[in-house]
Amino acid sequence: MVETIEKTEMEMEYDVLLDHLRNERIDDFREAFLDLHNYDQSEFYLLLEEGDRQRLYHFLSPEEVGEFFDSLELDADEYDEIFETMDARYAADMLAEMQYDNAVDILSGVSKEKLTSFLTLMPRRDAQEIRKLMNYEEDTAGGIMTTEFVSLTSLMTVREAMRHLKLKAPDSETIYYLFVVDEGRKLAGILSLRELIIADDDAYIGDIMIERVVSARVSDDQEEVAQIMRDYDFLAMPVVDYQGHLVGIITADDIMDVIDEEASEDYSRLAGMSEIEPTSDSSLSTAKKRLPWLIGLTFMGMITATMLTRFEDTLAQVAILGAFIPIIGGMAGNSGTQSLAVAVRGIATGEIKESSKVKLAFREMGSGLITGSVCGILLFTIITLLYDSSILGMIVGFSLLIAMTLATLLGTLVPLVMDRLNIDPAVASGPFITTSNDIISLLIYFTLANALMSYLI
């Protein structure tokens, strides 16, 4: 009930803002709009038609627009559409006022012509910082870091550091952690804002800083950095180059975006898709992304079909065997996918260590053995009662037991092996595991049926 009321109030506030905007009551609009949180400002902006957006640009400065553009999360083509109708100089000034890492994310998706134009029009210092960040590879610490941070030197006194902090804080993304560098700009230590405030004014930064600093290199994978920041509960983490020079920081809000992105990628791969598919993609674009996996799975499915033809005589003699193929294949696939999800999640979150991999494999196999036994006994009982054939019930029940046990083991081992080979374990997707388990379960089922055929006929 509370959420409904809040949503209604926000919608009413948006209506008032829109009325101010369309009737060009600039002072009323600015007062109400700038009082909103940046996220609410961005949500209002996305609701506007093109004509209303042009009025908004007229009412707000590039700096004020840049404030809420930091909160926007759009696809590259959507940003391209926005910049088509936004004055190039206004856009350049707006991008220069944004946090550099967010500006880089936007500029990485625009056309080369727009990128060159914006970098030429924006202030030289901002353009240099953005160009510097764009040189780092995507999905690395360098690719997600920002260069807007406060650094101190070890020879500063606390009094000097406080003056320096007041000067630099307005242009910094966060000031909760202060990073200390030596004369060569190499990372030397770290200091929290709290420690700086309570320290004696005449104390040297080098005497009160913490020298043991956990840092990331510019080439480190963003997923590894996210795991470290989560483990240590960091609000920010320094990034150094190969010589140990402090070149940037990664903040908690950047890591939240990384975690969300990596989770979406893993989910897509578990579903048998090569990458995250924006909802704005066309049918053709979506089909192109899914086809590689589906074609591969089609060939794997042909293996299943070939196996069935090899057991054609078995099916011809006891046709009832065909009725239980979907049950055995489906249950094995489900069990394997469950184990796969546990393994991929454990690897992604760092819960699975090297020493616990064998333990996890045995635990999942044990789980498959128990669940397979229960389901197998249940099927044996039902089939025996319905078809008056304990042999048929035993074949189906025992096949299900073995299939589910092996499926859980396979669902655990495949991602663990891939991780050991430095391959993203999420590529061991659900459809891949399911199709593999179909092949294994059918092989077990018909091998057992052939062995006991004389008792079935």
Domains along the sequence of the chain with CATH: 2-138 (1.25.60.10), 151-267 (3.10.580.10), 283-456 (1.10.357.20)
Number of H helices, E strands in the chain: 23, 6
Q: Which helix (H) or strand (E) holds 299?
A: helix 283-310
The CA–CA distances, whole Å, from 413 to 237, 251, 300, 362, 448 equal: 34, 35, 19, 10, 25
Between residues 425 and 190, the one the model is more confident about: 190
Residue 312 CB neighbours (<10 A): 9
Residues whose CB is less than 8 angstroms from the CB of residue 384 and which lie 6 or more positions away in sequence, other chains included: 390, 392, 393
- pLDDT value of position 1: 42
Percentage of the chain beyond pLDDT 70 is 85
Pick from 308, 259, 300: which is nearest to 429 by CA? 300
Per-residue pLDDT at 294: 65
Whether the per-residue pLDDT at 455 is higher than 80: the answer is no
Distance (Å, whole) CA 431 – CA 296? 10
Q: Can you tell me whether residue 29 is helix, strand or coil? A: helix
* Dihedral angle over CA of 439, 445, 446, 450, nearest 10: 150
Distance in Å from the first CA to the final CA of the chain: 65
Q: State the sign of the Cα–Cα–Cα–Cα dihedral 363, 364, 369, 373.
A: positive
Q: Which residues pair with 236 in a beta bridge?
A: 251
> Taking 90 as the threshold, does the pLDDT of residue 411 lie above it?
no
Structure tokens at 229: 């920041």
Q: Is the pLDDT of residue 68 over 70?
A: yes
For residue 325, which of 409, 403, 412 has the smallest C-alpha distance?
A: 403
Whole-number pLDDT of residue 290: 62
Output the CA–CA distances (angstroms, integers) from residue 60 to 19, 31, 53, 121, 336, in the order listed. 16, 11, 10, 19, 55
- In this predicted structure, the answer to whether residue 103 has a pLDDT above a threshold of 80 is yes
Residue 382 corresponds to which tokens in the numbers above? 């039902």
Average pLDDT of the residues in 171-179? 86
pLDDT in tens, 366-376: 998 999 999 99
Is residue 334's pLDDT more than 90? no
Phi, psi of 239 (to 5 degrees): -120, 130
pLDDT of residue 245: 93
Radius of gyration, alpha carbons of the chain: 30
d(CA 389, CA 166): 85
pLDDT of 284 higher than 80: no
Task: State the Cα–Cα distance between residues 330 and 335, nearest whole angstrom.
Answer: 9
Strands (E) in 151-202, as ranges, are: 151-153, 177-181, 187-192
Strand partners, 151: 179
Residues, the chain: 457
Q: What does residue 418 show for φ and ψ, rounded to 5 degrees?
A: -60, -40
**Whether pLDDT at 271 is above 80:** no
pLDDT value of position 2: 45
| pLDDT for residue 286 | 65
User: What gap in Å lies between CA 67 and CA 81, rounded to an integer?
Assistant: 20
Quick check: 435 and 295 in contact, CB under 8 A? no
**With 50 as the cut, is the pLDDT of residue 5 above it?**
no
DSSP run (H or E) holding 236: strand 236-240
| Residue 280: pLDDT band with limits 50, 70, 90 | low
CB 336 within 8 A of CB 434: yes
- The Cα–Cα gap between 346 and 357 comes to 10
